[in-house]
């Protein structure tokens, strides 16, 4: 795997750090993103800029994508200028975008017809996990080819699990987002309660984050809420996208998800108030506003 050239599409909040870890691990890196300026730091460190998705596909052995929305994934993968039309037979494509399980299955089917090995491998851990190379990676794809891509995944994450065939990684990410959605409401409500009860929320966190209430969101996003730091580690607009995918998938599976639906309603209201480009911890501002209106 060390002699493989990796193509990387998407250098946003998380993608940039993930690409840097691949370079640190010794992989040669081709990079493409819609706005070249977003890749300048990677290019300065030795990544080779590609003028198009097609060029990147032609010159890479393993191609990793992490873009915004399912529509972006479709644009990158399909059509004459897309990855599947231009990637070499025997190459690997790994979509790490949080997208729909059905789209992951479609990519895998078309990739197989072209002699390409496809994996869906969405991640969890936010900007902190991306920067530290400690992401959780949930993969879907053929087990017989998984070990070929594992070294690249290990450069970006620590908890890496092949969940099953194509689409399984995305289904697992939906489980992750469902758990986070209701949990974020709980974190916000706990901090607001502490403040309204006259407690120091920082001191409260010292007790509850190590007990049964402990969670990644409580330990990592709770302090940001308290400090008034709403910069995005993960955008509100992208979380809303994820929740919609999860709700649609749950409906196809005929599963009730009332907690998820309530969380999406609250985030929709935050979005309508101009919060799309804030971090998901900005839900605290919505609760704070409700507390001040009473």
Which residue of the set 4, 112, 131, 173 is catalytic? Answer: 173
Active site residue 173: yes
Tell me what the mean pLDDT of segment 179-188 comes to: 96
Tell me what the mean pLDDT of segment 96-108 comes to: 97
pTM of the model: 0.93
Q: pLDDT by residue (tens digit) across 70-79? A: 999 999 999 9
**What letter does residue 47 receive in the DSSP assignment?**
P
The separation between CA 25 and the C-alpha centre of its own chain, rounded to angstroms, equals 21
- Whether 203 shows a pLDDT value over 70: the answer reads yes
CA distance from start to end of the chain: 60
Q: pLDDT by residue (tens digit) across 45-69? A: 999 999 999 999 999 999 999 999 9
Tell me what the mean pLDDT of segment 185-200 comes to: 97
Q: Which two tokens stand for residue 48?
A: 């080779």
- Please give the angle made by the CA atoms of 257, 258 and 261, to the nearest 5 degrees: 90
- Residue 194's alpha-carbon distances to 17, 186, 202, 209, in angstroms, are 35, 12, 9, 14
pLDDT reported for residue 1: 61
Q: pLDDT by residue (tens digit) across 114-166? A: 999 999 999 999 888 999 999 999 999 999 999 999 999 999 999 999 999 99
Averaged confidence pLDDT in the chain: 95
Binning pLDDT at 50, 70 and 90, where does residue 26 land?
Answer: very high
pLDDT reported for residue 127: 86
Q: pLDDT by residue (tens digit) across 214-258? A: 999 999 999 999 999 999 989 999 999 999 999 999 999 999 999
pLDDT reported for residue 2: 64
Task: Quote the longest CA-to-CA distance of the chain.
Answer: 63
Complete domains list, the chain, with CATH: 5-164 (3.40.50.720), 171-293 (1.10.1040.10)
Question: Helices (DSSP H) in 92-140: which residue ranges?
Answer: 101-113, 126-132
pLDDT reported for residue 134: 97
């Amino acid at each position: 795997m060390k002699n493989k050239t990796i193509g990387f599409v998407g250098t946003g909040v998380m993608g940039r750090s993930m690409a840097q870890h691949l370079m640190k691990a010794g992989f040669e890196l081709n990079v493409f993103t819609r706005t070249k300026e977003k890749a300048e730091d990677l290019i300065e460190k030795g990544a080779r800029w590609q003028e198009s998705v097609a060029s990147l596909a032609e010159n890479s052995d393993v191609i990793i994508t992490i873009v915004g929305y399912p529509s972006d994934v479709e644009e990158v993968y399909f059509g004459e200028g897309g990855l599947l039309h231009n990637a070499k037979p025997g190459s690997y494509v790994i979509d790490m975008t949080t997208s729909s399980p059905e789209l992951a299955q479609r990519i895998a089917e078309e990739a197989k017809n072209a002699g390409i090995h496809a994996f869906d491998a969405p991640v969890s851990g936010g900007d902190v996990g991306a920067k530290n190379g400690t992401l959780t990676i949930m993969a879907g794809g053929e087990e017989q080819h998984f070990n070929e891509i594992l070294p690249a995944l290990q450069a970006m994450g620590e908890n890496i699990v092949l969940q099953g065939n194509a689409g399984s990684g995305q289904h697992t990410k939906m489980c992750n987002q469902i758990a986070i959605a209701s949990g974020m409401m709980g974190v916000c409500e706990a901090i607001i309660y502490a403040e309204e009860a006259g407690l120091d929320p920082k001191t409260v966190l010292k007790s509850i984050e190590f007990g049964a209430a402990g969670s990644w969101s409580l330990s990592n996003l709770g302090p940001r809420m308290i400090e008034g730091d709403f910069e995005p580690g993960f955008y509100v607009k992208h979380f809303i996208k994820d929740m919609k995918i999860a709700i649609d998938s749950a409906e196809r599976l005929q599963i009730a998800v009332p907690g998820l639906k309530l969380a999406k309603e609250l985030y929709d209201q935050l979005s309508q108030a101009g919060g799309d480009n804030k971090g998901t911890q900005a839900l605290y501002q919505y609760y704070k506003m409700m507390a001040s209106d009473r």
